[in-house]
Amino acid sequence: MATNRRKIVRNRRKSDLSEAMRHYFLTGEYGRRLNLEGGEKAAWLILCGGEEIELLNHHRDTLLADWIKENPCSRPWFWWEYDAPKEPVSNRFREISFHARRERIGGTGSPSWEHLNIGPCFSIGLPCSWVSSFDEAYYNGRAVDIHGNIIPTNYKEGHFKGKAIDPNDPPTFESEAAYLSRHGLLTKEEKAYLKKFPKLLEPEAVVFDECDEEEAEPAACTPQ
């Protein structure tokens, strides 16, 4: 029987933002271990769905404004990932890619892509992959097995120039506040806040936890 009824398609409400997706946009972290509302759906969107950017675009301004209000002179993960100014980074083969990165001040330790066959990786503007003490020993021919015996290789001392992080002299980088100031991205309110808390401009040291790849988090560096 013919009918004049119109089929109504109900689209997913764009205003819906689960706790898990909010956490992901702000920190870059996701997964069941976080035990957040909407976690499984968030993982599907991130890994398979490809709709997270559309969702982010709908909430970007609100997320950023809320973040700046609660954490002045810093920016959330999604901003560093998608919106921060990008600069050229060269790997050991002199291949150029563009990333948001903070300026290095000093310290001992080499980002892995400068000496190993791995692409550049940054998190919140800091390198998240570093030469390990095993890398340094192995590629200089002095790594040992669990019995204390030298692992046979064709590498000799001096072959590998990369340096593992020295806990007594860790790499230091400009702070988030310094990065934002350098690029002229601080709001009027943040500039006033920075005058009250100038320590936010002090360099940050990077701590890298050497661990098995299976246990490593996506971002293994944490400023302190």
Per residue in 9-65, pLDDT (tens digit) is 333 444 578 888 899 899 988 876 777 777 777 776 767 766 788 889 999 999 999
Report CA dihedral (70, 185, 172, 77) to the nearest 10 degrees: 50
In the predicted structure, residue 8 carries a pLDDT above the cut 70: no
In the predicted structure, residue 179 carries a pLDDT above the cut 50: yes
Q: How many CB atoms lie within 10 A of CB 135?
A: 20
Tokens (6 digits) for 70: 């609660």
Q: Rounded to an integer, what distance in angstroms lies between the CA atom of residue 94 and that of residue 114?
A: 9
In the predicted structure, residue 111 carries a pLDDT above the cut 80: yes
pLDDT of residue 54: 87
- pLDDT exceeding 70 applies to what percent of the chain? 81
Q: Rounded to an integer, what distance in angstroms lies between the CA atom of residue 99 and that of residue 184?
A: 18
Q: Rounded to an integer, what distance in angstroms lies between the CA atom of residue 103 and that of residue 28?
A: 22
For all residues of the chain together, what is the average pLDDT?
85
- C-beta of residue 172 within 8 angstroms of C-beta of residue 105: yes
Residues 6+ apart with CB under 8 A from 85: 100, 183
pLDDT of residue 211: 56
Tokens (6 digits) for 104: 């290095």
